[in-house]
Amino acid sequence: MSVSNGSLRQAILAACDIPEKELEIPEWGITVLVRGLTARERASLIQEAVDSGRANLDIIQLYPALVCLACRDPQTKDPIFVLEDREAVGAKAGAPVERIALLAMELSGFTARALVEAEKNFSTASSDSTSRAPSGSEGPLVN
């Protein structure tokens, strides 16, 4: 069966392809819906989680940002947090934050290998660049 490019485009764009899964958080007495990231969210998060000054992943920023981006209300599917909440989320207990972050990573196709590759690619690109962001510079994790 032959499918035109327009039909393929429509099929791809119409596909509900972002996985989600409910996760019980007993420490908080709630269940949240954890949603995988969009391609744009995932790419921006990886880019911002790599500190170009040290060429290391910034897990301190990565986990809270993942929680902010991926946590949804199970009934409405509305986001629970905004990225501005990442400092407050980072101050919560580590175990539930890590469970949410790890599930978000799994649903988003993050693997240890993907993060290491992104880190290598980003650090190579940064070292090739003549202008580097100063170490410790802060910016939004996604636009």
Hey, which residues does 4 pair with through a beta bridge?
A: none
Question: The whole model's pTM is what?
Answer: 0.75
Query: Residue 104 pLDDT > 50, yes or no?
Result: yes
pLDDT digits (tens, 9 = 90+) for 31-78: 999 999 999 999 888 777 766 555 567 778 889 999 999 999 999 999
The candidate with the shortest Cα–Cα distance to 106, out of 65, 70, 74, is: 70
Enclosing H/E stretch for 23:
strand 20-25
Looking at residue 58, what is its pLDDT? 76
In the three-class reduction of DSSP (H, G, I as helix; E, B as strand; rest coil), residue 97 is classed as helix
Which percentage of the chain shows pLDDT scores above 90?
57
Q: What is the distance between the alpha carbons of residues 11 and 6, in angstroms, rounded to a whole number? A: 9
Q: Which of 139, 136, 141 is nearest to 51 (CA)?
A: 136
Is pLDDT at 141 greater than 50 in this prediction?
A: no
